[in-house]
Chain A
Amino acid sequence: MDGNLNALTTVFTEFYYWVTVVFMFLIHVGFCMYEVGASRNRNHMHTLMKNIMIIPLVTVTFFLFGWWIYWAFPDFPFFGGLNHDAGNANLPWSETMATNLGDRITGVFWAAFLLFSWTAASIVSGAVIERIRSSALWVHAVLIGSVFWIIDAAWGWHYAGWMVKYLGYHDAYASGVIHAIAGGYALGVICVLGPRLGKFAADGSPRDIPPHNPWMLTIGIFLIYTGFWGFYAACNVPVISPEVIGGQITGTTWTATNIYLAPTSLSAITFNFLMSLSGGLMAAYLVSKGDAFWTFSGGLAGIITASAGNDLYHPIQAMLVAAVGVVIVYNLHFWVERRFKLDDAVGAVAVHGYAGVVGLIISGFVLWGAPSSPFEGYASVTPWGQTIGAVIMFFVLGFLPAFIVSKIQAALGVLRIPREVELRGLDYAEHHAYEDAKAAIIEADKAILAQH
């Protein structure tokens, strides 16, 4: 770190990303609370454990190869080979992937991306509660968290990604690269997994399976909102000079940028985060006729719909985009449920997947012609570029691999828990062990009391 300004910028950036990581941890806490709140008493511990173990499994695999994929894959395989120069610096045996005074950014930057990976895996986890085998879900968690989402990030969420260069793909706060892909992936799994027992009546009409604890669910979603602040901040570069960007920007004015190194500001995304949350909540309240579950989720879906363009939108545009998205997403969820008999237990496919896709398409129109990058020769934002991007995210990298892997798991008999276990509840054995242990210690205490 030569010079005080460089040192200050580096340490500030290091600390900035570190804080975003701490905030984003709350997303996972929120997802855990939400899933447990939505599940029935007889499945609590398994539901919780299924989500908690995503943390270590995705972390280790993201250290081993996920982070390397991000740096090596921006052109691979369609527009060039692997970028070994950038990739090698991010292999697990590289010196920069460790305690190193010559590199103070890699660890916090890695962690910021890793927390996105947990989120992607956690989104899938919610859709499949109460009937998937944990072993099957954990394979999916590694695939979405450390392989498929990070491939899409290399392609469409990297300043040199081919989708940005050739499609003008613009997805500042990850409508597509996190939410559409995770929603598409969840859809691929539940298509093969099937609904929970009793979800559909004999005549095919869906039954509501209400959350056992709506308060837990409420706190869960508010923690997700809180963590989302960190998520938004983590998608920006906090401060950088035109010289360091090295693109077309002239002059000496430093700026915050989005992930593509194009200018934005924390002020802009703060306006837009809150206005899209509000647009989503208000629209969801009306369209769901005041249903608490859908109103809260609608706030999240509103943010996700506006996220692709929230670095540039006017706050009122962010609010309206969110509101329109939520109306589409809500109706699409129930149409798909009725038409295809799919059981998306927490509305994850809708809130993340459909909202992400709708948000990308809308942003193509609202940001039509805007530069996708500060570098020369990149395509500008268009409706068709964003729509193709949405298909790649939701279907090609999300739905398709999930469907194929789930089919393999189903064929091997390792996808779904046995019917008897589903009816008794996944925690049945643990509940009995708990009751037996409780009875034994009460008897022991009574016996000791009787001696005195």
Chain B
Amino acid sequence: MSTIGYENWAVDLAEVGAIYPFQGSEVLMTVLCVVFWIGWHYIQFKRESEHLENARDIGDKSLVTKSVERY
């Protein structure tokens, strides 16, 4: 058994195509990729909203002015 479909390299490379593991699972892998991508956006959006909400009340006025003056 070999996950890439070849147990040895006694082959003519002219007749070899894909050699990645788990051939036939491309659609499943694509679904996982999309879940990872969309999930990343979801978590990032949520966290950034929380962060910005908390950031509204951080710092006293003099420190904020100093920060603005620092450019």
- A and B associate in one complex: yes
Check: B40 CB closer than 8 A to any chain A CB: yes
Could you say which of B20, B22, B44, B47 has the most chain A C-beta atoms within 10 Å of its C-beta?
B20
CA gap between A369 and B14 in the complex, in Å:
22
Count of CB-CB pairs between chains A and B under 8 Å: 95
CA gap between A312 and B6 in the complex, in Å:
12
Contact assessment for B32 and A320 in the assembled complex, using a CB-CB cutoff below 8 Å: yes
Check: A299 CB closer than 8 A to any chain B CB: no
Contact string against B for A residues 311-341, beta-carbon threshold 8 Å, 1 for contact and 0 otherwise: 0111011011001000000000000000000
Query: Residues of A contacting B21 with CB < 8 Å?
Result: 312-314, 317, 366-367, 370
Check: B58 CB closer than 8 A to any chain A CB: no
CA gap between A341 and B32 in the complex, in Å:
38
Query: What is the CB-to-nearest-CB distance from A318 to chain B, in angstroms, rounded to a whole number?
Result: 9
Binds B, one of A155-163, A241-249, A352-360: A241-249
CA gap between A366 and B3 in the complex, in Å:
7
Check: B7 CB closer than 8 A to any chain A CB: yes
Check: B64 CB closer than 8 A to any chain A CB: no
Contact string against B for A residues 359-388, beta-carbon threshold 8 Å, 1 for contact and 0 otherwise: 000000011111101101000100000000
Check: A286 CB closer than 8 A to any chain B CB: yes
A residues contacting the other copy or chain, number (CB 8 A): 36
Contact string against B for A residues 263-293, beta-carbon threshold 8 Å, 1 for contact and 0 otherwise: 1100000000000000100100110011000
Check: B63 CB closer than 8 A to any chain A CB: no
Contact assessment for B20 and A312 in the assembled complex, using a CB-CB cutoff below 8 Å: yes
Binds B, one of A70-78, A186-194, A230-238, A250-258: A250-258
Check: A69 CB closer than 8 A to any chain B CB: no
Check: A262 CB closer than 8 A to any chain B CB: yes
Query: Residues of B contacting A374 with CB < 8 Å?
Result: 9
Contact assessment for B3 and A371 in the assembled complex, using a CB-CB cutoff below 8 Å: no
With A253-B14, A314-B20, A319-B33 in contact, is A285–B1 under 8 Å at CB? no
24 A-B contacts (beta carbon < 8 Å): A248-B8, A248-B11, A249-B10, A249-B11, A250-B12, A251-B11, A251-B14, A263-B16, A264-B19, A282-B36, A282-B40, A314-B22, A316-B30, A316-B33, A319-B33, A323-B36, A367-B21, A368-B3, A369-B1, A369-B4, A371-B2, A371-B6, A371-B9, A373-B9
Which residues of A approach B to under 8 Å, CB–CB?
Answer: 242, 247-253, 255, 262-264, 279, 282, 285-286, 289-290, 312-314, 316-317, 319-320, 323, 366-371, 373-374, 376, 380
Which residues of B approach A to under 8 Å, CB–CB?
Answer: 1-4, 6-16, 19-22, 26, 29-30, 32-33, 36, 40, 43-44, 47
* Known A316-B29, A320-B32, A367-B3; further 4 A-B contacts with Cβ < 8 A: A248-B9, A252-B14, A313-B20, A368-B2
